[in-house]
Amino acid sequence: MRKVLFAALAIIIFFPVLLFVAFPVEYLREFGQYEQSQSLNRMAVPIAIFYIRHDIRYACGNETYFRNYNAMNFFDDLPLSREDELRLQSQDKIARLFLSDAVYDENEYLDSLRTVTAYNLVVASKCLRKPAS
């Protein structure tokens, strides 16, 4: 019985720690430490560039690239072309390392948003599969 209690306690304590290790930027934002999350943003894009240039990836859907969650989609109800739908599905399969929206300079924010979006398109194109006809 004690082993079960210790195991449960260990899981309760270490699970949040593991989440923080897996997604540090999201938790830094939650705690209001925007400066640290901004510095992680600056590291994220060069790491993504390295991964893409060296084609470090696994089977489609297990890529270790970065995705930007800052863009807001106002057009959810619009019909999508087949290519756009496939691209979005491919992006959704990409493993997510969250990027922060905590960038003080608006120009820097927009530049980083464009850069990450461009790399997401590259990643999605690597993951696309042509539909069987």
Each residue's pLDDT tens digit, 9-26: 888 888 777 766 665 555
In a domain, 82, yes or no: yes
In a domain, 132, yes or no: no
Give the residue, 62 or 107, on which the prediction is more confident: 107
pLDDT for the residue 6: 85
pLDDT for the residue 3: 87
In a domain, 119, yes or no: yes
Rounded to the nearest 10 degrees, what angle do helices 82-93 and 106-127 cross at?
A: 100
**Number of compact structural domains in the chain:** 1
The distance in angstroms from the start CA to the end CA of the chain is 58
Q: What are the backbone angles phi and psi of residue 58, rounded to the nearest 5°?
A: -115, -155
Q: Give Cα 13 to chain centroid, integer Å.
A: 25
Mean pLDDT for the chain overall: 56
pLDDT for the residue 64: 37
In a domain, 31, yes or no: yes
Answering whether pTM is above 0.75, one says no
Domain that holds residue 58: 2-127
**What would the pLDDT profile of 46-93 be if each residue is shown by its tens digit?**
665 665 566 554 334 433 344 433 333 334 445 666 666 666 555 544
Residue type, 45: V
In a domain, 133, yes or no: no
In a domain, 8, yes or no: yes
Residue 38's pLDDT band, with cuts at 50, 70 and 90, is: low
